[in-house]
Amino acid sequence: MTVTAGEIPVLDLGPWLAGENGALDRLAADLRRACIDVGFYFIANHGVDQDLVDRTFDQTAALHALPEDVKTAYRINKHNIGFMASKASMQRSSAVHDATKPNLVASYFMKRDRAPDDPAVVENLPLRGMNQWPAELPEFRPVMLAYMNAMETLGKRMLPVYARSLDLPVDYFASSFREPSITLRISHYPTQDSFDGEEFGTGPHTDAGFMTMLAQAEVRGLEILTRDGEWKSAPVLPGAFLVNIGQMLTRWTNDVFPSTPHRVVNLAGRERFSIPFFFDPDFEAVVSCLPTCSDADNPPRHAPIRYLDHILAFTNKNFDHRGKAA
């Protein structure tokens, strides 16, 4: 793996998933360099069936093709579940850009599927409501649930790699991910005829959580801010997921793994779909500086924080419906 400014490395999970001798430590070393030098990387040979990815994109397109009044019937609620229309979000918490216009992206959010008698639903705990499944699309629910299950499994498989990349025991993160906070966001970006530097599909920002695994269709539009301060277009690598680290992992690592700003501008002349899957700690997990990321000369830079408090502050700033609820 070679990493230079503006390039995104590709990590091959195949040997690690096959149990090859020494594969975990080699992969962990590659991951560490990718997180420090770029903040983004591709994962190939990840074990998620391509047919499932394709069907998820098909259902994403079908959802966003529904009439606006139908989608609005499933409008996003206080648990951040459902349809969020274009221009209903804005990157107000961004540290790299002062947003002046709302995002053009429209999205549909799903979280861990819960039944009415789930204790978290009964207690009405924040961000733990029931999913909204559009009756107009009978294949939508089974496909999305299968995809979320596959991606959660992949996220858990990555935890030992992150632990080894930070010189920690392989099971170090297990206690913070007993029930990972998962969010699937299926997104539609309309075409932009031009770019004025202020109106984005999604404005410049860093993600809030631990890890984002992104499936991209063939239409490009994502741009990342390289360590040398240039915005560069991210390629689309067929069959691979594009992964980036978020603010939670940055806090956990005492800024050793800095989260990388990114944005979306769709000048491709046709609509763009993307499917980010957010894999994060338990809501009640407390994130504090890892023991291998500080010493007497480099004390912890961030106070311990419960993940729920962090993600609520993020969503309350950036999503209009959450700001009103708060």
CATH architecture, domain defined by 10-325: Sandwich (2.60)
pTM beyond 0.85: yes
What are residue 298's DSSP bridge partners? 295
pLDDT digits (tens, 9 = 90+) for 55-71: 999 999 999 999 999 99
pLDDT band for position 48 (cuts 50, 70, 90) = very high
Asked if residue 95 has pLDDT above 80, the reply is: no
Mean of the per-residue pLDDT values for the chain?
92
List of residues 6+ apart from 178 with CB closer than 8 A: 282
What is the distance between the terminal CA atoms of the chain, rounded to a whole angstrom? 45
Element at 273 (helix H, strand E): strand 272-280
What pLDDT was estimated at residue 325?
Answer: 52
| Percent helix, strand and coil across the chain, each to the nearest 5 | 30, 20, 50
In terms of Cβ atoms closer than 10 Å to its own Cβ (0-12, 13-18, 19+), residue 85 is middle
Residue that wins the pLDDT comparison between 245 and 1: 245
Nearest-10 Cα torsion for 115, 120, 121, 125: -150
Cα separation, 146 vs 9, in Å, equals 28
List of residues 6+ apart from 100 with CB closer than 8 A: 198
3-state secondary structure 11-79: EECHHHHCCCCCHHHHHHHHHHHHHHHCCEEEEECCCCCHHHHHHHHHHHHHHHHCCHHHHHCCECCCC
Residue that wins the pLDDT comparison between 19 and 6: 19
Backbone angles phi, psi at 239, to 5 degrees: 80, 0
